Amino acid sequence: MLVSLYRYNPETDSAPYMQDVEVDIPEGKDLMVLDVLNLIKERDSSMAYRRSCREGVCGSDGMNMNGTNGLACITPMSQVVKKNKLVLRPLPGLPVIRDLVVDMSLFYKQYEKVMPYLVNDTPAPAIERLQTPEDREKLDGLYECILCACCSTACPSFWWNPDKFIGPSGLLQAYRFLADSRDTAQAERLSNLDDPFSVFRCRGIMNCVSVCPKGLNPTKAIGHIRNLLLQRAT
């Protein structure tokens, strides 16, 4: 089958181009996109892409496969191939370093902005800081984010303002700490988010929900943040 790869080497190419490669897929096997990439790399070692765990937990191999963002290692070919063709492109909106490798700095900067760590300066108790099972349940669907950037790079609002809009992933993480019963900095976190750009560029496009490889729902989290901001302000 035909695989069309996005190629760009800043040292030798003046512009990116698509390279078509014929790949023989063994009969009867449903390979993952990452497996096919590895096959291609065996023949052409200059094909660059990030990968690590090969089981969908590290978030390294986020890429755009036939128009949809996802993790290459857990996306079976049968799910993405259309008319016997697979088009692989890097995550949209971020600068390309080489082939399918993008510069994640903008994404990480927005993540750091939301203070993604527990803030609790009260004296440490003798055992752990306790939390009821009900409070712990509030973190389900929030802590599982693997920072793969599939959601933020699928969001048009993030494309237009990646330095000002925090993006679905950052906001999901922001809410993960806003909702944590052990955190004491809720007021400060909300003040930090209350401007026309950080949260409110979200227009409910919901591309993020549709592409998240871990099945998370950033739009819902953003709705919760909006409610918290409203409660605080009205």
**Residue 19 φ/ψ, nearest 5 degrees:** -110, 125
Q: How far is the CB of 25 from another protein (least distance, A)?
A: 23
Q: How far is the CB of 156 from another protein (least distance, A)?
A: 8
Q: Is the Cβ of residue 52 or residue 210 nearer to another protein in the bound state?
A: 52
Query: What is the distance between the alpha carbons of residues 203 and 90, in angstroms, rounded to a whole number?
Result: 25
Q: Is the Cβ of residue 9 or residue 210 nearer to another protein in the bound state?
A: 9
Beta strands (DSSP E) in 23-138 are: 62-65, 68-71, 85-89, 96-98, 101-102
Q: Is the Cβ of residue 84 or residue 231 nearer to another protein in the bound state?
A: 231
Cβ atoms 178, 101 nearer than 8 A = no
Helices within 120-193 (DSSP H only): 133-137, 156-160, 167-178, 186-193
Q: Is the Cβ of residue 11 or residue 140 nearer to another protein in the bound state?
A: 11
Helices within 1-120 (DSSP H only): 33-43, 77-80, 105-113
Q: How far is the CB of 97 from another protein (least distance, A)?
A: 5
In the complex, the residues that contact another protein under the rule CB under 8 A are 9-12, 41, 45-46, 48-50, 97-99, 101, 157, 160-161, 164, 191-201, 226, 229-230, 232-234
Cβ atoms 7, 20 nearer than 8 A = no
Q: Is the Cβ of residue 137 or residue 160 nearer to another protein in the bound state?
A: 160
Q: How far is the CB of 143 from another protein (least distance, A)?
A: 25
Q: How far is CA 129 from CA 137, 144, 145, in A?
A: 16, 21, 23
Cβ atoms 191, 48 nearer than 8 A = no
Q: Is the Cβ of residue 49 or residue 216 nearer to another protein in the bound state?
A: 49
Q: How far is the CB of 161 from another protein (least distance, A)?
A: 7
Q: How far is the CB of 3 from another protein (least distance, A)?
A: 18
Question: 174 in helix, strand or coil?
Answer: helix
